């Protein structure tokens, strides 16, 4: 069975609403490209908090972004209602690459999609460390068989 492409909503395993804001629009009347990375960050970290029990204030292990990329397919504008689709593409010992899609609320095709890689590190030493067990279990539930 073929895994749907990252442009399709069916390719993602977890979703959350992502509101656009008035300030997201740029002078050209659409959401500026830098805001998509904010949406990606919000979706990934919301998943870790809600599904993996990540305590952003007290966790001894935290995630550092080491790579991200975005493919822009169609413009969005405030006040579009969006959904962020989420999946894990590659799960290593101390790192994970997420696949994230941004969809208008009623659409099955992404307006944008991309990847976001976290390396988990000890908060004090900033050295790579294994992904915490509760987060790993959550990520295994959304692990996809196909990269972007």
Domain boundaries of the chain, sorted by first residue: 9-141
Does 45 score more than 70 pLDDT? yes
Give the C-alpha separation, 39 to 41, whole Å: 5
89-124 tens-digit pLDDT: 999 999 999 999 999 999 999 999 999 999 999 999
Neighbours of 40 (CB within 10 A): 27
Task: Give the per-residue pLDDT at 1.
Answer: 38
Write the class of the CATH domain 9-141.
alpha beta
Does 4 score more than 70 pLDDT? no
**pLDDT band of 47, cuts 50, 70, 90:** very high
Which pair of structure tokens corresponds to residue 106? 């009623």
């Amino acid at each position: 069975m073929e895994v749907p492409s990252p442009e399709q909503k069916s390719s993602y395993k977890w979703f959350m609403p992502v509101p656009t804001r008035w300030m997201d629009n740029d002078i050209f009347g659409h959401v500026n490209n830098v805001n998509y990375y904010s949406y990606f960050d919000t979706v990934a970290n919301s998943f870790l908090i809600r599904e993996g029990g990540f305590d952003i204030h007290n966790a001894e292990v935290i995630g550092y972004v080491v790579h991200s990329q975005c493919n822009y397919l169609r413009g969005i504008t405030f006040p579009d209602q969006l959904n962020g689709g989420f999946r894990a593409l590659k799960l290593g010992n101390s790192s994970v690459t997420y696949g994230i899609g941004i969809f208008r609320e009623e659409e099955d095709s992404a307006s944008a999609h991309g990847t976001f890689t976290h390396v988990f590190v000890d908060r004090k030493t900033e050295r790579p460390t294994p992904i915490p067990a509760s987060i790993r279990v959550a990520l295994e539930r959304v692990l996809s068989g196909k990269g972007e």
